[in-house]
Amino acid sequence: MTFLNLASTVILFALSPTSKSIYHRSKTDSALSSSVFPMEITRTPADKYGKLVDWLKTQDGKVNDKIEIKLSDRGGGFGAFVTAPVEENELLFTVPRNACVTLSDAINDSNCGEAFGTLIKAAGPGGNTVVMAGYLAKEYLLSKEEGTNKNDEESSLSKFGPYLATLPWERGINNQEHVLFWNGDDVEKLLKGSLCYRESTELRAEVDLAIKVLNGIIGPSVLA
């Protein structure tokens, strides 16, 4: 289980038009209702990466002027490339800790930090993953709130808005695919009888439980 996969699933439920809470799922109506095939492939818009670099500099990060983020001509999406020869020991970029999303950010969050800390104590090491996913989901949902300019990550309610805007939150973005995005029928039809069926169903059950727990923690701060 990864932070982004779990956080993306939390967001799918949070943005479900049929739900007024973070968690909403039934046997007949699932927020993960998209069919496994076909999948529309889209990419994060290039300007989002430019905003990411600009934001990183405001966080005391450094990015060499020779660095350019662009679509790779060898496939695989976007990447960081140098546009001129680089000298030995020349600094290319730095990412300071305050520009990173950390567990410390989650447990010190003004709205959810106390509950996140309690969850970690109750759940043990596995709670760290759930808390980070919950915090990422919360920050992403806040970043989507309208700021001084609509759809402007720089004016979002989340400090990490420009970074979060580059992540593949939905199925198909930057070839993002995961069993957590499938519906139950797809899992049964395509995986039952395979070696990965048990792991997939157990993972989905764990995520369902995590979403129920996170609903009571991050729901009030993003759905009010």
List per-residue pLDDT tens for the chain, 224 residues long: 455 555 666 555 444 433 433 333 333 333 333 444 567 778 888 899 999 999 999 999 999 999 999 988 887 788 899 999 999 999 999 999 999 999 999 999 999 999 999 999 998 878 898 899 889 989 988 888 754 444 554 456 788 999 999 888 877 777 778 888 888 898 999 999 999 999 999 988 888 888 888 888 887 777 65
pLDDT for res 2: 54
If residue 116 lies in a helix (H) or strand (E), which one and from where to where?
Answer: helix 113-123
pLDDT given for residue 162 in this prediction: 93
**Is residue 165 packed enough to be buried (19+ CB in 10 Å), middle (13-18) or exposed (0-12)?**
buried
Look at residue 6 in the predicted model and tell me its pLDDT.
Answer: 59
For residue 31, count CB atoms less than 10 angstroms from its CB and return exposed for 0-12, middle for 13-18, buried for 19 or more.
Answer: buried
